[in-house]
Structure 1
Amino acid sequence: MTLTSQPMILSGRGVTAVLGPTNTGKTHYAIERMVAHGTGVIGLPLRLLAREVYTRVVEKVGVQNVALVTGEEKISPPTARFSVCTVEAMPRETKAAFVAIDEVQLAGDLERGHIFTDRILHLRGRDETLLLGADTMRPILQQLLPGITVVERPRLSHLFYAGQKKITRLPQRSVIVAFSADEVYAIAELIRRQRGGAAVVLGALSPRTRNSQVALYQAGDVEYLVATDAIGMGLNLDVDHVAFAQDRKFDGYQFRNLNPAELGQVAGRAGRHVRDGTFGVTGQVQPFDDELAQRIEAHEFDNVRVLQWRTKELDFSSIQSLRASLERPPSAEGLTRALPAVDQQALEHLTRYPEIIDLATNPQRVEKLWETCALPDYRRITPAQHADLISTLFSDLVRYGTVNEQFLAEQVQRADRTDGEIDTLSARIAQIRTWTYVSNRPGWLADPTHWQEKTREIEDRLSDALHERLTKRFVDRRTSVLMKRLRENAMLEAEISVNGDVFVEGHHVGQLSGFRFTPISGADGSDAKAIQTASQKALALEFEARAARLHAAGNSDLAISADGLIRWIGDPVARLAGSEHVMRPRVILLADEQLTGNAREHVAARVERFVNHHISTVLKPLDDLSRAEDLQGLAKGLAFQLVENLGVLFRRDVTEEVKSLDQDARASMRRYGVRFGAYHIFVPALLKPAPAELITLLWALKNDGLEKPGYGDLIPVLAAGRTSVVTDPGFERTFYKLAGFRFLGKRAVRIDILERLADIIRPLLQWKPGQANRPEGAYDGRRFTTTTAMLSILGATLEDMEEILKGLGYRADAVTAEDAATHLAAQDASAAPAAETSGEEAGEKADHDDADSTSEEAASVALAAEEKPAVEPATSEETAADPAEAAEPVEPKPVLLWRLGGRNDNHRQARGPGDRRGGDRQQQGNRRHGGGEGAEGNRGEGRDGKRHERGRDGGKPHQARGDRNEQRGDRQDRGDRKDRNDRNNNRNGSQPLRFEAKPPRKEKPIDPDSPFAKLAALKEQMKK
């Protein structure tokens, strides 16, 4: 059996225990004592703290005289006289004159305590030994080390309990303590949003990353540090307040509340030298009771009663013997056997591996196995996974003498990536730290120097990347730098770029758009006020300069957008609001308070001048109508209504006014661009996209319509020059009318296109059977069929055309295609005798053409016809039908013959856009279609009278001036009854619909004072 020699507990003579709370200068005292000797070793609890002390010692004696020894790092100059180590890396025996062990109270820690206990009991300096720690260690040290000298060091500053505060109300230079990575990250994110940023310190971070984060806080770039209890061990920080965001932690075995000593260790970080500090809790933690707060303030904690211990007398004769020796209890009072640590847990797992049992066959290999089990679990993985890695390393060491470098290279390469987020980088750092430890084990690698340098380089690069990610995520660099300048009471320099970005001390703090400054979120409270004060200095001068430029700007630099904003070179400077007069909206400036005095007045005057100019230019026909002084009487009233309705009136709504207008009045209104159509009184120039868009905006401003359904989506489509669009029932119908469209069921059609449709339909209803040159679509003089020209100008399909014609008041009769062809052939055969008369009538009609029928309109109709084909060509798939299906008889589609609806039909007709007076008034206008008023709107006043005469003499099926009594009389005619009987028969499937011409209606006498009476008298004289 091979046993390691068990060193005896050494006497306490020559040992000095320097005990006291935090901020007593114990570590500084130990460094001064060490460099006073020729040689020395100091052990520290953390690699991070070892790095800090190494730097301080190097500053005193030079880099060639100091070595740094940790589990993952070795710096060993040949002439080194002093060694700075982690406690685990301290030598078991030394000839150095001085030995110091820091934070000896950790000897009571369940996980690492046995290591501190071993060094306390068995490691001594030749001339001086110092034990540094909390005063709670006095009784147990005096018990275990008789003759020890105890020196108390009082705290240099006082510590006070500050109670409970919300995180966002914590004072600057505060540390917020939590005990999980998720909680630390959440708090840091909150502070970044509210106060500009925070540094982060976690036990899982590499020492380089933690140092970088602490340096960020110490330099004043951030005012807050969020950390775990890792800061309680020797980190010297400039902290004024410590706030506990949690008071429970997982100690590796269970969740438990922190004891008073642990709370005091962390709270003691507050205060620096002689400056007092405070501690407290956040809003997520119950306030400390008075007794606990007083104990922390007075540093009165329960003494450490026992130290964790594990035997050094190990039996390597076999694995089972080693396990048994590790279970040996302590022989001295005040010591307790430690719970199985990571190395002992790994050994327990490895004893179940057959390959390990086969390899560990002699004491040397068992000792090598125990040495391999000392590999720290940096990755925080399960014991079984950690044991698998140890098994691989041990197998290589036994079989080949060194770890397989190919395997090592693959593992190192896998960690050598700096992409990814915080958690990913932290995992890679933990992985590379494992291989850094392996490269520093004596005899484990064939080329240890190469791998030490390689792994050190990768760890540093990953640590820097992690620091960058932490800073980027939890620190607002702009705000942090500004806050630092403010603490230094420095004057902040502000400037504004050409695109409106506002910079203070070179950092972007906001955006200037027009005359409004929008700060970037990040600073809060007094910080935000300081930034705003600095930026306002630059904004005041910029506002004055911009006001001068806007006052001198041309109209091309200003624009009114669809949302009612007035923009200057793209930036909003004002917005429009409704007023009593629809064409005179109010102008509201969008400017901060810094725009004052003459500068504000100049901006307001220039914007109002532009708005008035823009409206009067784009809506010039309406503006001219509103100012027309040559219009009198009914014409002036009609013009007023037209202006109030923004350029569109349904003719049915002003029937009586239009009837009463004489020729001179109509001519005077036409000079202002007004057109009298069959369905509407309108101004064609206002149907263009720009006027239509402005009209809808003005109406929306006055009627709170900017948020109404259809404004944002519908208006751009209607203003894009379309002749017809598919309607959306959810949209506001008023917008269709304002944009110059008539809402007709499933489609909305531009009103000038509807008037052109009327021009096409009119001659079809005026054509007489037997008359030469039968137009396409004419049937029997009172009915017509849909033509390609109609579909083309509307950009509609046959189904759409049915909806449009029904919306205009037409009704459909259905006949078979065979009957329709027979009827039309008979009409064509009888057309020759009437050719001379038809030509005479055509010439007479041409004599009365209105000025509206210009070549420009003809070109517009042609263009509209090109926009959308009337009939979709059949696809190849449709033509390639199954022969069996082709053989089946197909029921022929009926031919629809359209006619003007009767009175009964009027009550069923759909209402048009904006028609709030019922279907009857709409149908009055529809019944007039094709008669005198429809013709006079499109072909001139003289032509109206002619058509009245032709209506009387020719027995037309529709009258321009028929009154309601005549309509009621017509419904009682036998012809109407026959029509209804035929319609009923058709529904029953007996025969197709057919209609006979009605007897001529009784013509209403013409007013002798009207121009039509004068024209009729003139014609009679010419005949005589």
Structure 2
Amino acid sequence: MNIQPYEKSPTALTGRGVTAILGPTNTGKTHMAIERMVAHSTGVIGLPLRLLAREVYQRVVQRVGPEHVALITGEEKIVPPKARYSVCTVEAMPRETTAAFVAIDEVQLAADLERGHIFTDRLLHLRGRDETLLLGAGTMRGLLEKLLPGISVITRPRMSVLTYSGSKKITRLPRRSAIVAFSSNEVYAIGELIRRQRGGAAIVLGALSPRTRNAQVALYQSGDVDYLVATDAIGMGLNLDVDHVAFAQNRKFDGFQFRDLSAAELGQIAGRAGRHVRDGTFGVTGHVDPFDDALVERIETHHFEPAKVLQWRTADFDFSSLKALRVSLETPPNREGLTKALPAADQRVLEHLANDEDVARLADSRARVALLWEACALPDYRKIAPAQHAEIVAAVYQDLARQGHVDEDYMADQVRRASSTEGEIDTLSHRIAQIRTWTFVSHRPGWLSDPTHWQEKTREIEDSLSDALHERLTKRFVDRRTSVLMKRLRENRMPEAEVSNAGEVLVEGHHVGEMQGFRFTADKTAEGEDARAVKTAAQKALAAEFETRAERFASSANGDLALSSEGVVRWLGAPVATLVAGDDPLRPRAILLADEQLTGPSRDKVAARVDRYVNFQIESQLKPLVDLKQADNLTGIARGLAFQLVENFGLLNRRDVAEEVRSLDQDARAALRRLGVRFGAYHIFVPALVKPGPAGLATLLWALANDGKDKPGYGDVVAALASGRTSLVTEPEFDRAFYRLAGYRNLGRRAVRVDILERLADLIRPALSWKIGQHERPEGAYDGSAFLVTPAMMSILGATPDDMEAILKGLGYRAEAKPADEVEKRLAELAPKPELEGAEASAAPAPADTSGEAESAPAPAASEAAAAATAAPAVAETGTESVNAAPVETAAEAEAVVEAEAEEPKPVLLWRPGRSERRRPQRGNERPNDANKGKGAKGRGPRQRHEGGPRKGGKGGENRNGPRQARPERPARIDPDSPFAKLAALKDQLKK
């Protein structure tokens, strides 16, 4: 490096007209510069931070009015037409000006490795027409006097005393303290600790936007929090009401390496303690070792090592070519006290782009090389890798070179990506850095076709992101409730409390608990003095709230209430009572869920309203049961049957009450039908109750009466009913009563809806009533006394052939296995002959009428007889086509099935009504087999129902099933109330 003495340099600079105001923090240097600037007709002041520039701008505006002051930063420009004073960041200051006054603040930053060359250039070359002030630390005096001969130096003493107080734990730091750390993770960890122990802290990071930093500083300055956790960003001119500065770290990453802070840097930060004439203290905390005596003395006396060199980079750029520009950037300084700066961000980007063929090809003229260097000045606010930042710069430059402005679609896409206010602190900080990049682009002259639009758009987005970030920081690091309550306690004031319409209990506007229904739940995070204040304020607020709510609840509409599947009565979503079993299953008791503060008439009103609502639900959804229970027109057996239906929530197996059903006369049956009772083939039930609403309520009432609320499956079966399932696989751990109450019957491994079982009876009935010679054989009919399972039967039940076998056995049918070839042969024989078809059809009785209730369907056999019957896996057939039992899962299984069938054909199951022998009464009620119900007076085979006339009996002893014809006949029970018995009696009278 060729260093020439200043006095021999042809480009020597002078300090004539320049004044350096030097001294430690809290000496009033910036205030003095503002006073001097407004004393001139025009002026420019440069500051190190956009945040500080905004603060000084506001102060100058207060002095001379907004129409006379401009604010110019890389990301913001406010330039009134009549502006006489400009407040700028140092990077945004012009290299030449005609202003009468120029001031540059914090000139000691000329030694900074990253930004130093900018400060050096401005303090060496930028001059005011009448006055120039250089403001900074006393460490700059020697270099300024060497580089600027003739400069006038004024030193100012600190206005307050700074004292070292040693080491303290973070939780024992005094109020109005600032804790300093140099990594975001450490700042966040300290903020969390202070929030838990002291109510909260404001957060100041260099990565925050100025708007967010201002909001956080205002949070601290207003006294809402007593602690500030920050990086060294507070060391540059922020005027804070700080009494103590504690260093939680004393090492930082300066962009190139981790290093210890110098004594001057520690002094700059520690100097923020104590403002104006109020003294301040500094110390260490966390894992930082106490400062040694020598370091303490230097900080307290503000005596630091003088700056030795300033960073410098040439301002004489050669734009003749890209190569020439790169060479000119390597120009060394030509005077002592300056050192060539390390490549800055713009130079590193240029080096990347110089290797990009597309960019190099575009930079083919002096104007385009200058344009490329201007684009490289785009700041890397995101602090990403140089290569990534270079890609953005390349895109911007290529648009500028080819189109003359940045592409609008590209700009819109980049802005849109950064516009979302969702996310946490780090995400929002990253988006703010992104939008600041495009804010900078929008303020570059000539870079956009519509700069005003994009300036407004990017400013709006940055403000919204900054506000969102401030909110997240406050939410995470400030417990406003604790801070406010602690403040009120210190002031000996009782906090004000209120209850919102949503039930949120607020103290001084902060959440302390919730009022759900008639119960108050305090916030469990409240501890110590905070908990005591919360409890006192909440009790005061809730004293009248219980009475008010009781009145509102007593007059509430049914639509505001709900009964959950767990038996909890809710009011506007809040639980107010829970149901328990009562003396009557249809009259459960309600237990209020309320605090002890709900007493007297208010409590009685709430209890009465709950009872009215529960009774309304039961009487409306279970109205058929209520009507059956209160039916005064029922007598005798009908009344007993109604009582059993009520007791069993509307569902009885017909075989269990077969004797009672036979004993009912037609008037009693009609009366029960009018009450919604259906006499099915397999069940006596109330169809209106086989719906999700009534079934759910019936299940709940049964569970209350039988301690079944906590049993597995409670509510699951009702959900299956609501989804329209006709059958479902039963769960062994579920109580079987749940299926019955939801309108299902357990048959084998499946539970089938009772109304679907009646549809199954409608398919079986014509198959069993068919006679040889009829015009058309019903699907599934075999020979009039047996039937085959058909696909239609399986379809309505949603069952497999294996399931059908268990279902039919459970319904009382018995299976008879026959070889498949024999069944096919028999079906062929039973096919009507063309020449006999007409005669047979005219002689055969008509199929049974299934349009009404299935009272004449073949009655199922006893469960014991069904259990005794054994058969091979079921195969449902229609004609000679069979449906395989169960679907196979894999090709290997399919092949095994095929091989097994090839070896031995599976038998076919024929299904017949159960045996008609009598059985002993069970549980005090006779349960006879109802299979004989369809026989005639002489018991000669299945009865055939005919329209318009009495039944016709066949010859006794006829049985087409072979050996069974030798079975002795047994007298059949005759139902005297059946319409066919009455027709027979009428016929006998006519004959007489």
Match of 2:438 in 1: 431
Alignment check: 8 A CA contact 2:350 2:373 kept? no
SS in 2 for 1:742: strand
Alignment check: 8 A CA contact 1:18 1:132 kept? yes
- 2:336 equivalent to 1:331: yes
Alignment check: 8 A CA contact 2:378 2:440 kept? no
Distance 2:191 2:575 in 1: 37
Match of 1:983 in 2: none
Match of 1:738 in 2: 741
Match of 1:726 in 2: 728
- 2:63 equivalent to 1:60: yes
Equivalent residues in 2 for 1:582-661, closer than 5 Å? 585-591=588-594, 595-611=598-614, 614-615=617-618, 646=649
Match of 2:466 in 1: 467
Alignment check: 8 A CA contact 2:198 2:483 kept? no
Match of 2:411 among 397, 414, 428: 414
Residues 569, 293 of structure 1: alpha-carbon distance in 2 compared, 3 angstrom cutoff:
farther
What residue identity is the alignment partner of 2:930? Answer: G
Deviation at 1:715, TM superposition (A): 0.6
Alignment check: 8 A CA contact 1:222 1:475 kept? no
Match of 2:964 in 1: 997
Alignment check: 8 A CA contact 2:680 2:855 kept? no
Alignment check: 8 A CA contact 1:816 1:894 kept? no
Residues 714, 387 of structure 1: alpha-carbon distance in 2 compared, 3 angstrom cutoff:
closer
Paired positions, count: 881
Residues 631, 641 of structure 1: alpha-carbon distance in 2 compared, 3 angstrom cutoff:
same
- 2:791 equivalent to 1:816: no
Q: Which has the higher helix share?
A: 1
- 2:911 equivalent to 1:898: yes
Distance 1:749 1:770 in 2: 35
What residue identity is the alignment partner of 1:818? Answer: K
Match of 2:158 in 1: 153
Alignment check: 8 A CA contact 1:14 1:127 kept? no
SS in 2 for 1:573: strand
Residues 664, 374 of structure 1: alpha-carbon distance in 2 compared, 3 angstrom cutoff:
closer
Report the more deviating stretch, 352-361 or 286-295: 352-361
SS in 2 for 1:997: helix
What residue identity is the alignment partner of 1:288? Answer: V
Equivalent residues in 2 for 1:203-352, closer than 5 Å? 203=206, 228-238=231-241, 249-256=252-259, 258=261, 261-262=264-265, 265-266=268-269, 268-269=271-272, 272-273=275-276, 286-291=286-291, 299-300=299-300, 303-310=304-311, 319=324, 323=328, 326-328=331-333, 330-332=335-337, 336-342=339-345, 345=348
Equivalent residues in 2 for 1:9-408, closer than 5 Å? 17-21=21-25, 23-32=26-35, 35=38, 42-61=45-64, 84-88=87-91, 100-117=103-120, 132-134=135-137, 148-155=153-160, 163-165=168-170, 203=206, 228-238=231-241, 249-256=252-259, 258=261, 261-262=264-265, 265-266=268-269, 268-269=271-272, 272-273=275-276, 286-291=286-291, 299-300=299-300, 303-310=304-311, 319=324, 323=328, 326-328=331-333, 330-332=335-337, 336-342=339-345, 345=348, 375=377, 377-378=379-380, 406-408=403-405
What residue identity is the alignment partner of 1:603? Answer: V
Equivalent residues in 2 for 1:467-486, closer than 5 Å? 467-471=466-470, 474=473
Residues 600, 175 of structure 1: alpha-carbon distance in 2 compared, 3 angstrom cutoff:
farther
Residues 926, 680 of structure 1: alpha-carbon distance in 2 compared, 3 angstrom cutoff:
farther
Alignment check: 8 A CA contact 2:378 2:437 kept? no
Distance 1:93 1:307 in 2: 27
Alignment check: 8 A CA contact 2:247 2:288 kept? no
Match of 1:915 in 2: none
Alignment check: 8 A CA contact 2:181 2:230 kept? yes
Distance 1:955 1:367 in 2: 111
Distance 2:359 2:966 in 1: 118
Aligned CA RMSD, in angstroms, stands at 7.2
Residues 140, 455 of structure 1: alpha-carbon distance in 2 compared, 3 angstrom cutoff:
same
Deviation at 1:338, TM superposition (A): 3.4
Residues 319, 530 of structure 1: alpha-carbon distance in 2 compared, 3 angstrom cutoff:
farther
Distance 2:838 2:361 in 1: 119
Deviation at 1:743, TM superposition (A): 1.6
Deviation at 1:149, TM superposition (A): 5.0
Residues 696, 528 of structure 1: alpha-carbon distance in 2 compared, 3 angstrom cutoff:
same
What residue identity is the alignment partner of 1:430? Answer: T
Deviation at 1:430, TM superposition (A): 1.4
What residue identity is the alignment partner of 1:813? Answer: A
Deviation at 1:414, TM superposition (A): 1.6
Match of 1:714 among 705, 710, 717: 717
Residues 373, 226 of structure 1: alpha-carbon distance in 2 compared, 3 angstrom cutoff:
same
Alignment check: 8 A CA contact 2:432 2:466 kept? no
TM-score between the two structures when normalised by the length of structure 1: 0.63
TM-score between the two structures when normalised by the length of structure 2: 0.64
SS in 2 for 1:303: coil
Deviation at 1:898, TM superposition (A): 0.8
Distance 2:298 2:618 in 1: 80
SS in 1 for 2:411: helix
Distance 2:539 2:43 in 1: 60
Per-residue CA shift, 1:527-567, capped at 9, x if unaligned?
Answer: 89989988887766564344234435677875533332324
Deviation at 1:697, TM superposition (A): 1.2
Deviation at 1:153, TM superposition (A): 0.7
Distance 2:38 2:303 in 1: 34
Alignment check: 8 A CA contact 1:678 1:929 kept? no
Distance 2:260 2:99 in 1: 41
Distance 1:198 1:572 in 2: 38
SS in 2 for 1:734: helix
Residues 799, 606 of structure 1: alpha-carbon distance in 2 compared, 3 angstrom cutoff:
same
Per-residue CA shift, 1:667-697, capped at 9, x if unaligned?
Answer: 9999999999886687777656554322211
Distance 1:67 1:767 in 2: 104
What residue identity is the alignment partner of 2:404? Answer: F
Give unpaired runs (5+ residues) of structure 1.
397-402, 440-444, 847-852, 862-869, 873-889, 904-919, 940-945, 958-992, 1007-1017
Deviation at 1:268, TM superposition (A): 4.8
Distance 1:384 1:719 in 2: 60
Equivalent residues in 2 for 1:430-449, closer than 5 Å? 430-434=437-441, 436=443, 438-439=444-445
SS in 1 for 2:963: coil
Distance 1:634 1:781 in 2: 34
Match of 1:849 in 2: none
Residues 597, 716 of structure 1: alpha-carbon distance in 2 compared, 3 angstrom cutoff:
same
Distance 2:455 2:779 in 1: 93
Distance 2:214 2:273 in 1: 19
What residue identity is the alignment partner of 2:911? Answer: W
SS in 1 for 2:405: helix
Report the more deviating stretch, 607-616 or 751-760: 751-760
